[in-house]
Amino acid sequence: MTSPIHATRPNQVAVGTIVWLSSELMFFAGLFAMYFTLRAQVPEVWEQITPTLNVKFAAINTTVLVLSSFTAQAGVFAAERYQRRRTGSLANFRSWGMHEWFVLTYIMGAIFIGGQIYEYSALISEGVTISSSPYGSVFYLTTGFHGLHVLGGLIAMLFVLGRSFVAKKFGTHEATTTIVVSYYWHFVDVVWIALFSVIYLVQ
């Protein structure tokens, strides 16, 4: 009995993606530096505003995003064995293919964005806006840029799903695209864990 064929991990594409993500890491490092610099200069503003943060809600929203990394990776595993769609019942997640796992990942990412919008509206109602204080400026810049990156990841997932749907055969190119997008999604998740820790836990 022959062993199942797996997709080959991308080489040049993966290297290019990692290099690009390294530049993105430097971008977020700059945002973190700005956050800590302003916090050191006006700590009283942080003491005044941080109690308005809904840490419990943010923790739930964070959990959704973190779990989406696992569903994305499950989609990668399916793509590596060239399984485009589920082979059994929808209730049997063990039979899911790349489509089902990436659709679930997309939904979870969209829930995270919706949660972030809800939190923004709650903070604005409390008078915390991007122009109200240094805290407001750095909070919305850091979380907002991250939110834009999440949106970029959601668009990339739509591209992957669309390409898979129109492809006559799910092969190496489709699997490679899935893997590369998962790299980006994992990166976005890791950055958010750092942001959540700094903004919500280290008050």
pLDDT score of 10: 47
Phi, psi of 142 (to 5 degrees): -70, -50
Would you write out the chain's pLDDT as a tens digit for each of its 203 residues? 444 545 555 456 666 777 777 888 888 999 999 999 999 999 999 999 999 999 999 999 999 999 999 999 999 999 999 898 888 888 888 889 999 999 999 999 999 999 999 999 999 999 999 999 999 999 999 999 999 999 999 999 999 999 888 877 888 888 888 999 999 999 999 999 999 999 999 87
pTM above 0.75, yes or no: yes
Q: Which residues of 149-184 are buried (b: 16+ CB within 10 A; e: fewer)?
A: bbeebbebbeebbeebeeeeebeeebbbbbbbbbbb
Yes or no: is domain 12-201 CATH 1.10.1740.10? no
Domain limits, the chain: 12-201
How high is the mean pLDDT of the chain?
89
Q: Tell me the residue type at 29.
A: A
